[in-house]
Amino acid sequence: MSKINIFALGGLNEVGKNMYVVKVDEEIYIFDAGMKFNVENAYGVDYILPDYNYLKENIK
């Protein structure tokens, strides 16, 4: 039987910061990876991305 994990990386209910991941055994599937263009007064920030560190650490 396969081990299935479903979880979110980044902010839940935050437009542009959310990313949903399904891990089946050792395979990782990404659903709804967000990206947000900055419209606030954060000078020098062009867009906001979810945190991809988990994917970098588990690339193999």
Residue 40 confidence (pLDDT): 67
Residue 38 confidence (pLDDT): 67
**pTM for the whole structure:** 0.65
Radius of gyration (Cα) for the chain, nearest Å? 14
| Average model confidence (pLDDT) across the chain | 80
Q: With 80 as the cut, is the pLDDT of residue 13 above it?
A: no
Mode of pairing for the β-strands spanning 47-48 and 4-10: unpaired
Q: With 80 as the cut, is the pLDDT of residue 5 above it?
A: yes
In tens, the pLDDT along 18-31 reads 788 899 998 999 88
